[in-house]
A = this chain, B = another copy of it.
Amino acid sequence: MARKPQQQRSKATVDAIIQAGFICVAERGVGATTTRHIAETAGIGVGSLYEYFKDKEAVFDAMNQRMVEEVVGMLQAAAPAISRLPIGEAVKHILTLFGEFLQGNDQRYLKCARQAMNIDLKDYVGPISKLLTQIVMQHIMHHPEHMRLRRIPAMSYIFINAGIFSVVRHLSDPNPPISYEELTQGLADMVDHYVAQELLLTAPKA
């Protein structure tokens, strides 16, 4: 039976297990990660893992939650600044933050992100998508002329997903045909040009 960590030591152990989970999944993939590997990596006995987590799946869930929390925290902190940037730069800024996040921690988050994508796409990308949608809305608030854009929900969905997947895929590619700088610049231009063209097409006549 998994108990709630109430003491300081317990909290540290839970953290160690989650970190071990990231390490193992990054090294061997989700499918090949066993409870024993996680426990060993965390420096504890197998039984102890079950003191804190109901089962293996619960460890993966906690990992997902942790990753989402970190991304969300990072984006929330940056949100106000982002709103004030021109659209292209805003996109670039977000992608740079996101890229740094995935590259950090020995690329473990990146490797886990790839694994998580097809396991549980709703919980994983879901909250992040939601926050990004909010950021888009805030950005529009600061740039009233963008309210003229058509089909904002659909295009937000497309740009957000395209951005997330492109970044994850690019960083995972050992031999990417373009640099990360080119990728972020390209995605930024993509959004920027789209917006510019829409504003042009919907411009009030004379």
Contacts of A194 in B (CB 8 A): 189-190, 193-194, 197
Contacts of A158 in B (CB 8 A): 162, 166, 183, 186-187, 190
Q: Can you name the residue of chain B whose Cβ is closest to the Cβ of A111?
A: B118
The answer to whether A121 and B165 touch across the interface, beta carbons within 8 angstroms, is no
Q: A126 to B159: give the CA distance in the assembly, Å.
A: 22
A178 interface contact, C-beta 8 A: yes
Q: How many residues of chain A have a CB within 8 Å of chain B?
A: 39
Contacts of A115 in B (CB 8 A): 118
The answer to whether B166 and A162 touch across the interface, beta carbons within 8 angstroms, is yes
A117 interface contact, C-beta 8 A: yes
Mark A residues whose CB is within 8 Å of B.
30-31, 114-115, 117-118, 121-122, 125, 151, 153-155, 157-159, 161-162, 165-166, 169-170, 172-173, 177-178, 182-183, 185-187, 189-190, 193-194, 196-198, 200
The answer to whether B190 and A122 touch across the interface, beta carbons within 8 angstroms, is no
Q: A156 to B151: give the CA distance in the assembly, Å.
A: 24
Contacts of A155 in B (CB 8 A): 186, 189-190
The answer to whether A165 and B173 touch across the interface, beta carbons within 8 angstroms, is no
Q: What is the distance, in angstroms, from A190's C-beta to the closest C-beta of chain B?
A: 6
Q: What is the distance, in angstroms, from A120's C-beta to the closest C-beta of chain B?
A: 11
Q: A177 to B156: give the CA distance in the assembly, Å.
A: 11
Q: A114 to B162: give the CA distance in the assembly, Å.
A: 15
Q: What is the distance, in angstroms, from A129's C-beta to the closest C-beta of chain B?
A: 9
Q: A159 to B169: give the CA distance in the assembly, Å.
A: 13
Q: Can you name the residue of chain B whose Cβ is closest to the Cβ of A160?
A: B166
Most buried by B among A115, A169, A173: A169
